[in-house]
Amino acid sequence: MHGKTVVITGATSGIGQVAAETLARQGARVVFVARDAVKARAMLDRLIRANPDAAHDWVQADLSTIAAMKAAGEALLAKAARVDVLINNAGAIFDRREVTADGLEKTFAVNHMAYFVVTDVLRPALGPGARVVSTASTAHTFGQLDFDDLRSAKGYSAFRAYGLSKLCNILWTSELARRLEGAGVTANCIHPGGVNTGFGDNAKGWLGALFGLGKRFMLTPEQGADTLIYLADSAEVAGRTGGYWVKRAPVQPSAAARDPVAAARLWDVSARLAGVPA
How do residues 148-187 score in pLDDT, each as one tens digit? 999 999 999 999 999 999 999 999 999 999 999 999 999 9
How do residues 202-255 score in pLDDT, each as one tens digit? 545 545 555 455 455 577 889 999 999 999 999 999 999 999 999 999 999 999
- Taken in order of first residue, the domains within the chain and their CATH numbers are 5-274 (3.40.50.720)
Q: Are 12 and 40 in contact (CB under 8 A)?
A: yes
Query: Of these residues, 115, 156, 162, 230, which one is catalytic?
Result: 162
User: What pLDDT shows up at residue 204?
Assistant: 52
DSSP 209: H
Give me the helices (H) in the chain, please: 14-25, 37-50, 66-79, 106-108, 114-122, 158-179, 205-214, 221-233, 260-274
Rounded to 10 degrees, the C-alpha dihedral 224/233/114/267 comes to -110
Task: Decide: residue 236, CB within 10 A, 0-12 exposed, 13-18 middle, 19+ buried.
Answer: exposed
**DSSP H or E run through 28:** none
- The model carries a pTM of 0.92
Q: Helix %, strand %, coil % for the chain, to 5?
A: 50, 15, 35
Phi and psi torsions of 76, nearest 5°: -65, -40
State yes or no: is 162 an active-site residue: yes
